[in-house]
Structure 1
Amino acid sequence: MTHMADEETILAAATRHLNRHHTASMGDLAKGIGVSRATLHRHFATRETLLHTIARRALDRWEAIQDEAGIEAAAASGDPAALDTALRALLRGFLNVVDEHGFALTVHLIADLPALVERGERLEDREIAFYAALQRAGMLRADLPARWISGALFGLLVALRDRLLRGDVAPRDIERLLFTTFFDGFRPAAEETS
């Protein structure tokens, strides 16, 4: 067993392991990530505590990606160049945490924690407002609800995560796959923008 005791390292490894083994026990997790059960329990007394910490971490990272991409400032500006830069930064940011999509945000980890549910909804609403600004600027299709665009992007990220786990796609291809699918699906047709 390794002696990694850094909580952030344990959380990242646990998320990767849980992506493959959703129902892993604490013992299975400790073995799968290369720490002793005692080390895992020192950081997280119960599996539920670990799962809720993973969910909080996923929300923290989601918010940080939005902040780093500057989606609110870009949306407020309405400037197509700023919107495009922010959108590409947002997508690249999501690719950096693709492991967290799927398990951390789809396995109902936060359903019984109202504060986390509310925070997740707030982050989604923030992103939906950004997609609506892209639509107003003619950069995303206006015939689709912004909430649909948000949900579809999340689905694409989960699909990428799953394909990576299965070895169906190479990590070097994920940016191209995401950008091609997203932009080909959600950009307005040429005649709509002219």
Structure 2
Amino acid sequence: MAKGETARARTSSAIIDSAATILAERGDAASMDDIAAAAGIGRATLYRYFASRDELLNAMGAASVQELAARIEQAHLDAVPVDEGIARLVRAILATGHKYVAMNADSARYSAAYPDFDTRVTEPMRALFRRGIAEGSLRSDLPFELQIDLLSGLVKAALDGTTSGRSGVEETAAAVASVFLEGAGATR
């Protein structure tokens, strides 16, 4: 990457990070001026990078999916016991969702626009749950798709706690994994 491209990518990333922070704090009330100020740039500079709020939100959506995919990859879900894999998966989702809270309500829109979403996010989750059922650590009487949906519901509810400040990401992730595994764990 050329020096100018590197600087542009760094500025774009800083804008996206600042937008994520300010939108998490103020929601829809945050203006493009607020986002520019949080990023330490002028409004004109912001608009040179992102011509509209929608364009910025789309870039944030792509960044959130890329971050989630990277966190899932770094979690090595296929190399740890299923219960640890679920705990790591929950931490990855909550940490990303906490950072990009403005994207949570419309996450399906952004995930559908990310070309590798199924390969890098969905398939590692499915593989973890299929392995859990095959090994007997997850219930075999519930399809893995339903188990993923149930875990997703717990995670979505838990995001409210982390984004409101009632609980931290780590403690919430541990609680979600524990509650899920108590109910979805194979009966002994």
How does the TM-score come out when normalised to structure 1? 0.71
Q: 1:157 aligns with which of 155, 158, 164?
A: 155
Unmatched 5+ stretches in structure 2: 1-9
Pair 1:44-2:50 in alignment:
yes
Unmatched 5+ stretches in structure 1: 75-80
Aligned equivalents of 1:24, 1:36: Cα separation in 2:
15
Residue type at the aligned position of 2:66:
D
- Structure number with the higher helix fraction is 2
Aligned equivalents of 2:185, 2:142: Cα separation in 1:
11
Matches within 5 A, 1:23-38: 24-30=30-36, 35-38=41-44
Give the total of aligned pairs.
177
Change (3 A) 1:93 1:165: closer
Aligned-residue Cα RMSD (Å) equals: 3.1
Pair 1:15-2:23 in alignment:
no
How does the TM-score come out when normalised to structure 2? 0.73
C-alpha contact 1:52 1:109 (8 A) present in aligned 2: no
Q: How big is the shift at 1:24?
A: 4.3
C-alpha contact 1:131 1:140 (8 A) present in aligned 2: yes
Residue by residue, what CA displacement relative to the aligned partner does 1:29-68 show, whole Å, maximum 9, x if unpaired?
Answer: 4356665323422332211211111111122122212211
Residue by residue, what CA displacement relative to the aligned partner does 1:146-165 show, whole Å, maximum 9, x if unpaired?
Answer: 12222233333322222223
Q: 1:60 aligns with which of 49, 63, 66?
A: 66
Q: How big is the shift at 1:10?
A: 2.7
Q: How big is the shift at 1:28?
A: 4.6
C-alpha contact 2:94 2:169 (8 A) present in aligned 1: no
Aligned to 1:125: 123
